[in-house]
Amino acid sequence: MSFGKSLKSELGRNTGKWVSNKVFGNTGWATPRRHVIEVEQRKKQREEAREYKHRQKEMERERRERERELKQMEKEQAEREKREMIRANEEEVHEHNNYLEVIQSVHKSYSDQMNWEELQSQEAPEYVQTAEELRQEISKFTNDYVDQEIEGLKRRSKLSLARLIIGNMYVPKNRWVFKTLGNEKALGFIGLVCMMGLLYGLMQEGFLKYFLPIISALVFLTVLLFKYGAKDFDKKINLEERLNELENSRSRLLEENLKEQQEAHEQYLRDKADYEKMMDIVNGVINKNPQAYTYALNFFNPFEDLKEYGSDISFEVNANKVSVDFYVHSEEVVPSTTKKILRKGVEVKEEQLPQSRFNEIYQDYVCSCILKISKEIFQLLPVVNEVQVNAKGSLMNSATGNFEEQTIVSVNIEREKLNKLNFDLLDPSDSMSNFEHRMDFKKNEGFKPVSDLQTA
């Protein structure tokens, strides 16, 4: 092939390829350029793939970290809930066991010895005058108080020297003026305008050269004066409103003070009535009046805590002896179940008390209350030396088949013998052996009815 033909053929191919590239773009390539672009595109795709893989690894790592943190939080929350549950369970069991212990030892807590001679020497409550009797003094006190508040308010609300020039404008209808001119932005704007007027005047000749600067300065000083006066205006208005409130409060304060005085007088009347009632009791006890013993037991109520457990008490008094009927109400006082901790504290198991254990607790409660009742009476009434307590429990009457209140313990307590006992260490059920008593009790069967001891 000749050189001319080869050149012609090569020019034809290159021209065709150039035209193809121009016409078809990157999709109809028939040149090495297509290969170059494909390489660049695959390189870009590989980079995007590597970035995607890297992001996926990061996302996976973050996801695993979140899951780990969530599991840790859930574990910590579960541990906190578990500890709280254990604490609540332990507290529940402790309170239950403490209650069982307390009802078996109520005799350990009792009142101090009553000193009737000391009570007799107490003076009557000091007379408290009525509101009407002190109306004039209370009125003066109220007015003096309001006047002092007014004077103090005026001293604390001193105004600036601006009041000497614009003080007459401190009235509510001019509030908008002070509100507008007291604004920082308004002061800045007017100050800028005055500065421009001052500079413009200085550039003039003749009359305006002096007139405009003077007017600008006067306007700015006036606005500045109102700026400081705005604070005075608020003080003045607030002061007047507060002064009006104080003046209008005179009648209300007077009524409140009169009411307070009347309440104090009524409290005095109640205290006086209690004092007179107590003095009647004191004199009756000292004079060994049996009726006064009854009043004393009702007035000082030494058996109140036993009633809180659910038991009731009634009594009869004579010159040297007090007879008490103690209604136990075991179903309200002694629980029939026991509680204990299981599974390291996460569970409280409540079980029925064995009948023998229930009977023991019941017996201790009854006998402990008998000791407390006797001790409280001896502490309150030093002239009484003997107490008979008849404890009543709900037992089935075999003749009727019904449950009835029957005597389960009847005991005669002497002061001298009771004072020899160590209340902190004794067993209340065993302590009954120190006194004349009737009690039929078996651990597995409980109480059986007994007859009351004969009252002397």
Determine the average pLDDT of the residues in 88-101: 86
Is the per-residue pLDDT at 31 higher than 60? no
- Across 408-432, average pLDDT: 93
Q: Is 36 a residue whose pLDDT tops 70?
A: no
User: Residue 437: what pLDDT?
Assistant: 92
Secondary structure letter of residue 131 according to DSSP: T
Nearest Cα to Cα of residue 372 among 291, 320, 305: 305
The residue behind tokens 């001019």 is 174
Residue 258 reports pLDDT greater than 80: yes
Dmax (CA) for the chain in angstroms is 162
pLDDT band at 28 (very low <50, low <70, confident <90, very high): very low
Spatial CA neighbour of 153 closest among 239, 233, 67: 239
The helix/strand/coil state of 404 is strand
> How much is the mean pLDDT over the chain?
79
User: What per-residue confidence (pLDDT) applies to 262?
Assistant: 92
DSSP 319: S
Q: What pTM did the predictor assign?
A: 0.61
* Confidence category of residue 166, pLDDT binned at 50, 70, 90: very low
Residues 298-333 pLDDT 10s: 888 888 887 777 678 888 888 778 999 988 887 778
- What are the phi and psi torsion angles at 389 (to 5°)? -115, 125
pLDDT of residue 242: 79
pLDDT in tens, 348-385: 788 888 889 989 998 999 999 999 999 999 999 988 89
Q: How confident is the model at residue 434 (pLDDT cuts 50, 70, 90)?
A: very high
The three state secondary structure string of the chain is: CCHHHHHHHHHHHHHHHHHHHHHHCCCCCCCHHHHHHHHHHHHHHHHHHHHHHHHHHHHHHHHHHHHHHHHHHHHHHHHHHHHHHHHHHHHHHHHHHHHHHHHCCHHHCCCCCCCHHHHHCCCCCCCCCCCCCCHHHHHHHHHHHHHHHHHHHHHHCCCCCCHHHHHHHCCHHHHHHHHHHCCHHHHHHHHHHHHHHHHHHHCCCCHHHHHHHHHHHHHHHHHHHHHHHHHHHHHHHHHHHHHHHHHHCHHHHHHHHHHHHHHHHHHHHHHHHHHHHHHHHHHHHHCCCHHHHHHHHHHHCCCHHHHHHCCEEEEEECCCEEEEEEECCHHHHCCCEEEEEEHHHCEEEEEECCHHHHHHHHHHHHHHHHHHHHHHHHHHCCCCCEEEEEEEEEEEECCCCEEEEEEEEEEEEEHHHHHCCCCCCCCHHHHHHHCEEEEEEECCCEEECCCCCCCC
| Residue 453 predicted with pLDDT over 70 | yes
The model's pLDDT over 385-408, given as tens digits with 9 standing for 90+, comes to: 999 999 998 886 666 667 778 899
pLDDT at 133 over 60: yes
In the prediction, which pLDDT does 158 show?
Answer: 63
What type of residue sits at position 238? N
Least confident of 117-126, 135-144, 268-277, 392-401: 392-401
Q: What is the pLDDT of residue 226?
A: 58
H-helix or E-strand spanning residue 393: strand 386-397
Average pLDDT over residues 86-96: 85
Q: How many CB atoms lie within 10 A of CB 140?
A: 10
What pLDDT is attached to residue 18?
55
Q: What's the mean pLDDT in 404-421?
A: 91
Give the CA count within 13 Å in the CB-facing half-sphere of 166: 22
User: Looking at per-residue confidence, does 175 or 39 come out higher?
Assistant: 39
- Confidence category of residue 263, pLDDT binned at 50, 70, 90: very high
Please give the angle made by the CA atoms of 236, 241 and 247, to the nearest 5 degrees: 125
Please list, in sequence order, all residues whose beta carbon lies within 8 angstroms of the beta carbon of residue 435, skipping any fewer than 6 positions away.
411, 412, 413, 414, 417
